[in-house]
Structure formats: C-alpha cells, structure tokens
Structure 1
C-alpha cells in the first residue's frame, strides 16, 4: 500500500475494508475499470486524513466516498460517478441513475448499505502485486 502525491488529481474510492460486499465491489471495479482508481479503506489513516481532517466530515462506515480530482462524493452519487470510469455499458448507469432525485437514490443506497454484511460473507480476494499499487493506507 502506498501514499500518493497530489491527490487532487486522482480518483480515490474510500470503502469499508471490513465488509465482504465492499471488498467484492472493489475487486469488480479493478476488473472493469477503464480509468485509474485508487482505493483506501475507511479504517485507514489516509482516509481519516482526507475525509475527516481535509473535508471536515465524520466518517460513516455505511458510506462509500469517492474523491474525484478534489471533489468528494458520497453514497449513490459516488456509485454513479464511479460507474462512469468503468468499461462496457456500465457508464450508462450514471445517465440513467442521475435522473432520479438524490433522496431516492440514497434511500436505495442506505437500504443496501445496512444489509451489506448479510449480502456477502466477509471474505475478500487478495489483490495481485500489480493491483496493490492502487491501494492507499
């Protein structure tokens, strides 16, 4: 795991590192990305520094955060923004999803987030040597 310089020019996904569903989602993004994403568990010092100190937010473990070139997105908006950086038909999710009001999207997001530990067991694949350079601590 690395620390990267000039994070304002990067795409960083902050996720619950203790969640099997979240880890599977990270692996899915690694397998389908067309843009470069970096990943940091919410439990990391790096996440605390970026989200709590620099952005002034309290980290919520049920929340996915996405820092895209200096702008922080949360929950459903983060998911939709991330979909734009994936290969295949996934970017269309952004254009379909964004037409719904944020409160509706976040209601669905919260529904899934509260049940995420039941959706998938807390198992995760180890990233390859090549993939490890995209993980931040």
Structure 2
C-alpha cells in the first residue's frame, strides 16, 4: 500500500454545482487535502476510475484507501477538524451513515437542478461537451 503526503478530494470539474461546492469548501472548511477536478487527475494512480468519480466525489486517504459519496464528504469533514469533525464522525456511524448516503444521492442525482448546476451535470461524462477523463 502506498502512502501519500496529503489526502486528495476528487470532484467533477465539469459540473457547475460541484465547482461551486468546492469553492465553498475552500473558503469555509480547512482541509489538508489537495482538491482536484477528476478531469485533471491520474485516476489509476489514485486507486479509482472515471466511472466512480463521475458518480460521486471521492476522498483518497493518505494510505490510498478511497471513500466515495457521503463517506468521502465525511472524511473531508473529519480531516478539517474543529466543529466540522463531529459532523464527519457522526456521518460514518449507522444509522446516520445511511441517512448521509440518502441525502448525498438525492443531491448528486439532482445537482443539475440546484443553484450553480448546469444541464451538462445531467449528462454522463462521455456525452458532455469538452474534454473528458
């Protein structure tokens, strides 16, 4: 297992809602992670693939383990510390884990309808305009 200097948070850089969310995180959530649009990352080297990162945000831990969706967000909050840490810790424990997953899927599946979302968010990555991973 390879170890990284910093964790990595992968998100969909083609999605306006995702990009807006990452800007919010950058301003409000102090993380040690390198935040990267998956379109600009070496996904194989990070232990993931285009299918996963187009479906959900992915947290790549220092030890190389990957956490997707709500669990990826939970790891980000734990990493941020402070008042964010308890929220992340709660989100990894059932039944809150299940609730977090449901809420994450609801948002992710409807991101093109949310503020900052664009019609491209609703398209599969291979059908979006511009370069793809």
Normalization by structure 2: what TM-score?
0.70
- In structure 2, do the counterparts of structure 1 residues 40 and 93 end up closer, same or farther at CA, with 3 Å as the change threshold? same
Q: Distance in 2 between matches of 1:41 and 1:113?
A: 16
- SS of corresponding position for 1:61: helix
- Give the match for residue 54 of structure 2: 61
- Give the match for residue 15 of structure 1: 11
* Number of aligned residues: 115
Runs of 4+ with deviation above 6 angstroms: none
Q: Distance in 1 between matches of 2:13 and 2:66?
A: 19
For the aligned residues, what is the CA RMSD?
A: 2.6
Q: Distance in 2 between matches of 1:85 and 1:71?
A: 14
Normalization by structure 1: what TM-score?
0.68
- In structure 2, do the counterparts of structure 1 residues 7 and 29 end up closer, same or farther at CA, with 3 Å as the change threshold? farther
Deviation at 1:38, TM superposition (A): 0.8
- Give the match for residue 129 of structure 1: none
Unaligned runs of 5+ in 2: 119-133
Preserved CA contact (<8 Å) 2:43 2:49? no
- Name which structure has the greater RCO, CA cutoff 8 Å, separation 6+: 1
Preserved CA contact (<8 Å) 1:16 1:42? yes
